[in-house]
């Protein structure tokens, strides 16, 4: 079974530039999550989708971050413009059923460095 795919693996940009990350969840998984993991900290939920609808985006900095999940499958997370404090690993995860967290599968993440 293929896992959660993310790209790119690494990204280096200058502050005020834009960046986008892509995630392809496990086939059939209705729920998709984007987490931000700053070095030395635990992952923090940015946004949760159920199919193509947003369930929770309370911790998403909406002035600069946006995310979409068209057709309820792939998702993209965008930052525009980036700040130094956005340097982190961005993890995508998916689950078959959003209420059953033990079935949460994580991708390898995209490591973002903002210079």
- The single residue among 7, 17, 87, 108 that binds other proteins, judged by CB under 8 A, is 108
- Please, which of residues 73-102 interact with other proteins by CB under 8 A? 91, 93, 98-99, 101-102
3-state secondary structure of 33: strand
Distance CA 49, CA 28 (A): 14
Question: At its nearest, how many Å lie between other proteins and the CB of residue 75?
Answer: 16
Helices (H) then strands (E): counts for the chain: 0, 11
Dihedral angle at the C-alpha atoms of 10, 29, 95, 43, nearest 10 degrees?
20
1 binds other proteins (CB under 8 A): no
Q: Which residues bind other proteins (CB under 8 A)?
A: 3-4, 40-45, 48, 56, 91, 93, 98-99, 101-102, 104-109
């Amino acid at each position: 079974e293929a896992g959660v795919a993310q790209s790119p693996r690494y990204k280096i940009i200058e502050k005020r530039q834009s960046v986008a990350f892509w995630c392809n969840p496990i086939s059939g998984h209705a729920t998709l999550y984007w987490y931000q993991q700053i070095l030395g900290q635990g992952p923090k939920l940015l946004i949760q989708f159920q199919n193509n609808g947003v369930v929770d985006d309370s911790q998403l900095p909406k002035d600069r971050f946006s995310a979409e999940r068209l057709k309820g499958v792939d998702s993209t997370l965008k930052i525009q413009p980036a700040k130094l404090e956005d340097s982190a690993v961005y993890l995508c995860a998916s689950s078959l059923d959003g209420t059953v967290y033990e079935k949460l599968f994580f991708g390898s993440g995209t490591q973002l460095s903002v210079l």
